[in-house]
């Protein structure tokens, strides 16, 4: 038993296991091969459809049939990944050249998913059949056993064009990711031909053919000058904008119509865009919008924003570019599997790998064709020779006892035991010496082939075979000839499947817009007990003043251009712009404070709320559960960040009270165990917000501060404590950091 136990370092086992797992995900799941531009699941799905005979000119078949067969034979990783791959390969708004012809609901550009696989049907697109799967029967690529070694599958498909660039891809592996934009087929083929003609071509020269990405959704790429660097390194950021048009509606109103969207807006981001535009109205970033509607259909994208007559359309459009995803960034990372390893490549290297693969595929194809033509020529020569001595052949056949005897005579000239009409025939039969293949063809020859026209056709076929052999040998012997064959294939694909560019490539200046200045006015901030917040105008507040204080936990006077600061028990202060808050009627519900700030009601509680303008005028007084106290200048909280630390806390401590210091003279601390300590605020030092403060009261055991009261000894100040009223003004003043006095109920 001990001999079977292998002792090794645990970290080494983990490292090796993780590397094996990572490489498996990288190579066998998530990243495409640079040669055919396909991930394994895509390659297996297309090959399975090819094997099932679901060609572009055949009827559609149920997607569930394709998925099940693929999973059972080649890809045992679950049906959802296979169906998802099938769906994406059929979506013309994601792929520049869809490889699957889908029939049924295969989702849409607005993010609605495809129907279940039992409802949809599919078949191979013509370009997939002719551009990726042709010539598989000619030994052009290597095959390998499938997962259970019951089937054979291709290691790569014999792609006739750089599919990786044409269709693009995206994928997340372990520790790396790929994101390659789609390109125009015509441009990629032109660049590929340019490389074949001159392998020393530079990326800059290639960019004369490939203008940039060509997204199925169109749009405008606005950083043209940065593209050469991106395509040289294989990494960078492409800035894309949607395309807008201006139309006039009835009544003189303007319609800003989005006709093309950024590629990154596909799916739920269209809904997000509509919500963002509506949010611009709610937060008063603009008052120009009258209405917004999504009128998109199968004919294309049409998002209509109705504007007021006097709208500055250019400024408004720039605002959309800055504040919404109508202008977005596509992060390029051209990572693919090359020579069995993940590699980040520029456009030159991708095309180089693809062209090298094209030459290998073409060499193997014409080697196979040459072998078959030579075999065919051998048979044709034998048949022509046999037709010239057909009477002797018939005599051999009639004189033989069986097929083996006749074949032995035809191949080796063995005439023993064969009955001939004459000695001359026997001598001539011994001199025939056909090859094995020729002899078999002669023995299987049908009598109608002896008709004169058939013999002429045989000779014509022989001439054609001889010409094919000469052509194939020329292709295999001369690189220029093979290069011309590859370029002819590329031209054929370009002619059949090429289309005009959709995405405009240009240099555009950064979108700049001027925000309309909001007329400053006084408003009232309200927050109810459930954390819903809103603002109302001062006149509405005055009419509902009593209800406002009764129904809300916080009521703060502020400016509509200012900020609200919310201090929490965790020692943070969250800043909220008043313009981000809904402004309306007193009975409006408002929005949860969690939605407009970093405040999280699940893990912290609000202790105090004030306007930023008020804080700038005063000092803030902090008291914690462990009796730490300090003053902080309110101006320290006038920051641009949405959340900062308002005070430093000790372990297991939290803020109990935050107050604005105006005319208060003393503070009274009350503990959980009923200890009270009153002392003058002049004993409290001012500290920075990053300081803990000083001790305000000595606490016994697990006692902690429960409540904090302030007063000025002039105005009445009574509190109720355990059904008893305490007059804080009459309470004796002590020194800070004392034990306090026990007050019994």
User: Catalytic residues, which ones?
Assistant: 119
Distance of alpha carbon 158 from alpha carbon 357, whole angstroms: 8
DSSP calls for 183-216: --HHHHHHHHHHHHH-TT--HHHHTTT--S---T
With beta carbons less than 8 A apart as the criterion, state whether 357 and 155 touch: no
E strands, 429-551, in order: 504-505, 522-528, 532-537
φ, ψ of residue 656 in degrees (nearest 5): -100, -40
Work out whether the CA dihedral 147, 149, 152, 154 comes out positive or negative: positive
Work out whether the CA dihedral 450, 451, 457, 459 comes out positive or negative: positive
If you ran DSSP here, which 8-state letter would residue 635 be given?
G
Residue 556: CB atoms within 10 Å: 20
Smallest CA-to-CA distance from 523 within 503, 508, 537, 539 is with 537
Distance of alpha carbon 681 from alpha carbon 92, whole angstroms: 72
Q: In Å, how far from its chain's centre is CA 717?
A: 63
Smallest CA-to-CA distance from 380 within 448, 455, 430 is with 455
User: Tokens at residue 742, please?
Assistant: 């026990």
Distance of alpha carbon 169 from alpha carbon 637, whole angstroms: 47
Across the beta sheet with 243-248, the strand order is 243-248, 254-260, 303-307, 289-294
Distance of alpha carbon 696 from alpha carbon 694, whole angstroms: 6
Distance of alpha carbon 183 from alpha carbon 186, whole angstroms: 9
Smallest CA-to-CA distance from 162 within 139, 182, 140 is with 182
Find the DSSP H helices in 199-312.
203-206, 227-233, 268-282
User: Tokens at residue 404, please?
Assistant: 């083996």
């Amino acid at each position: 038993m001990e001999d079977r136990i292998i002792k090794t370092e645990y970290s080494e086992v983990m490292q090796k296991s993780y590397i094996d797992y990572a490489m498996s995900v990288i190579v066998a799941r998530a990243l495409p091969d640079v040669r055919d531009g396909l991930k394994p699941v895509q390659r297996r799905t297309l090959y399975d459809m090819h094997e099932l005979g679901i060609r572009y000119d055949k009827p559609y078949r149920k997607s569930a049939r394709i998925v099940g067969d693929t999973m059972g034979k080649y890809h045992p990783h679950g049906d959802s990944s296979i169906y998802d791959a099938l769906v994406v390969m059929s979506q013309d708004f994601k792929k520049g050249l869809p490889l699957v012809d889908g029939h049924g609901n295969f989702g849409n550009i607005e993010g609605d998913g495809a129907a279940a696989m039992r409802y949809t049907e599919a078949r191979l697109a013509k370009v997939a059949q002719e551009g990726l799967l042709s010539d598989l029967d000619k030994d052009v690529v290597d095959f390998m056993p499938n997962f259970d070694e019951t089937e054979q599958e291709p290691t790569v498909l014999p792609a006739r064009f750089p599919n990786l660039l044409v269709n693009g891809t995206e994928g997340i592996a372990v520790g790396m990711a790929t994101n390659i934009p789609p390109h125009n087929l015509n441009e990629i083929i032109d660049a590929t031909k340019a490389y074949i003609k001159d392998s020393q071509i530079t990326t800059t020269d290639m960019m004369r053919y490939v203008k940039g990405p060509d997204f199925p959704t169109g749009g405008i790429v606005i950083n043209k000058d940065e593209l050469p660097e991106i395509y040289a390194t294989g990494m960078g950021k492409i800035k894309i904008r949607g395309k807008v048009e201006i139309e006039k509606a009835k009544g003189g109103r303007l319609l800003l119509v989005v006709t093309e969207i950024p590629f990154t807006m596909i799916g739920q981001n269209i809904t997000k865009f509509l919500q963002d535009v509506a949010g611009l109205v709610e937060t008063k970033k603009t008052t120009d919008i009258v209405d917004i509607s999504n009128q998109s259909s199968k004919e294309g994208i049409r998002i209509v924003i109705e504007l007021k007559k006097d709208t500055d359309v250019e400024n408004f459009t720039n605002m959309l570019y800055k504040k919404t995803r109508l202008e977005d960034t596509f992060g390029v990372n051209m990572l693919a599997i090359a020579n069995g390893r993940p590699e980040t490549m520029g456009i030159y290297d991708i095309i180089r790998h693809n062209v090298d693969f094209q030459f290998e595929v073409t060499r193997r194809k014409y080697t196979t064709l040459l072998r078959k033509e030579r075999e065919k020529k051998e048979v044709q020569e034998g048949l022509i020779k046999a037709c010239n001595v057909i009477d002797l052949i018939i005599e051999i056949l009639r004189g033989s006892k069986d097929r083996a005897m006749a074949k032995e005579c035809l191949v080796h000239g063995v005439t023993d035991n064969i009955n001939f009409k004459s000695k001359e025939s026997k001598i001539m039969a011994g001199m025939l010496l056909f090859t094995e293949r020729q002899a078999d063809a002669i023995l299987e020859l049908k009598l109608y082939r002896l008709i004169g026209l058939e013999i002429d056709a045989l000779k014509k076929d022989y001439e054609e075979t001889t010409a094919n052999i000469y052509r194939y040998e020329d292709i295999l012997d001369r690189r220029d000839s093979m290069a011309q064959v590859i370029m002819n294939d590329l031209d054929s694909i370009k002619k059949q499947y090429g289309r005009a560019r959709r995405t405009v490539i240009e240099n555009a200046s950064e979108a700049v817009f001027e925000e309309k200045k909001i007329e400053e006015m006084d408003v009232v901030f309200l927050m109810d007990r459930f954390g819903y917040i809103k603002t109302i105008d001062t006149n509405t507040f005055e009419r509902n003043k009593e209800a406002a204080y009764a129904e809300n936990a916080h009521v703060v006077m502020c400016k509509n251009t200012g900020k609200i600061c919310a201090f929490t028990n965790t020692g943070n202060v969250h800043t909220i712009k008043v313009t981000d808050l809904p402004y309306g009627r007193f009975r409006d519900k408002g929005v949860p404070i969690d939605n407009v700030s970093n405040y999280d009601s699940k893990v912290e509680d609000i202790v105090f709320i004030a306007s930023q303008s008020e804080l700038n005028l005063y000092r803030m007084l902090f008291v914690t559960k462990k009796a730490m106290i300090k003053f902080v200048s309110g101006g320290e909280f006038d920051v641009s960040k949405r959340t900062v630390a308002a005070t430093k806390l000790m372990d297991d401590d939290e803020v109990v009270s935050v107050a604005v210091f105006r005319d208060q003279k003393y503070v009274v601390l009350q503990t959980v165990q009923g200890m009270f300590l009153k002392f003058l605020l002049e004993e409290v030092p001012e500290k920075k917000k990053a300081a803990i403060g000083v001790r305000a009261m000595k606490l016994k055991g697990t006692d902690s501060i429960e409540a904090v009261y302030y007063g000025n000894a002039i105005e009445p100040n009574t509190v109720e404590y355990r059904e008893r009223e305490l007059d804080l003004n009459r309470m004796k003043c002590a020194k800070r950091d004392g034990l306090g006095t026990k007050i019994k109920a």
